[in-house]
Structure 1
Amino acid sequence: MGTLDMLILARLAQGAMHGFGIADYLHQVSDALHVDEGSLYPALHRLESQGLIESDWGVSENNRRARFYKLTPRGRKRIAVEVSNWRRLVEAVNQVVDPLAP
C-alpha cells in the first residue's frame, strides 16, 4: 500500500468525508502535503475496488452534491496494520539517520 492510500484510510478512520475534504484535511494538518485530483481520485477508486472504502452520494457543507467515502470493516482492519508498519519503518529510518544529526 502506498503512502497516499494509507493517509486516506487514516483520515477516513475519523469519519466519512468527500474527496476535496480529504485533500484539504491532509494539507491543513500536515501544513505541507498537497494532493491533487489526479492522484486523489484514482487512489479513492482503487481503495473502493479493493473493498477498503465505500461511497455514497451526499451534500457537502457548501450544498453541493458530493461523493462521501467511509471505511469498510476491512478498511478499518487494514489501516491498523498499515499504521503499525509505518511506525516500524519510521523508527528504522530514524535509527539510520539520527547519528547524522548535527
Structure 2
Amino acid sequence: MDAQIKKGLLEYCVLAQLRQKESYGYQIIRDISAYIELSESTLYPILRRLETEHYVDTYTVEYHNRLRKYYRITAHGQQHLDAFASEQDELLRVIHFISGKE
C-alpha cells in the first residue's frame, strides 16, 4: 500500500479499534496488524496526536506492578470517525470506477 494512503488511514484504524474496545498500545498494534501493518514507532505518535486533538483520552491501570496506559475514544473522536466513514462512500465509488467494478 502507498505510504501516504496508509499514513492517512492509520488514524482512523486506531479510532475504529478503540470504538470496539478500550485498549493499550501493544494490544492496539496486535488488533490492527490483522488488517494493516503497524509498528510501535508509528502508533505512539498517532495516539499522542489523537489525545492532543481530544479524539481519545487515557487512563492507567496497574498490571503486574506496572502502570498500563489505556486509550478510549471520546465523543469528539467518534464524530471524527463518523465523518470520515461518511466520506468513504465517494471514495469507494471512485475505486470501483478505477478497477472497472462499477
Q: TM-score range by the shorter chain?
A: 0.7 to 0.9
Runs of 4+ more than 6 Å apart: none
Which residue pairs with 1:22 in the alignment? 28
Q: 1:34 to 1:59 in 2, by over 3 A?
A: farther
- Point out where structure 1 has 5 or more consecutive residues left out of the alignment: none
Partner of 2:79: 77
Q: Percent identity?
A: 23
Q: C-alpha root-mean-square deviation of aligned residues, in Å?
A: 1.8
Match of 2:48 in 1: 45
The amino acid of 1:20's aligned partner reads Y
2:4 corresponds to: none
Tell me the TM-score normalized by structure 2.
0.81
TM-score, scaled to structure 1:
0.81
Separation in 2, partners of 1:59, 1:77: 30
Aligned mate of 2:37, from 12, 16, 34:
34
Q: How does 1:51-62 map to 2 (within 5 A)?
A: 51-59=54-62
Which is bigger in relative contact order (C-alpha 8 A, separation at least 6)?
Answer: 1
Further displaced range: 64-73 or 2-11? 64-73
Aligned residue for 2:33, secondary structure, equals helix
In structure 2, stretches of 5+ residues that fail to align are 1-6
Bigger shift: residues 38-47 or 80-89 = 80-89
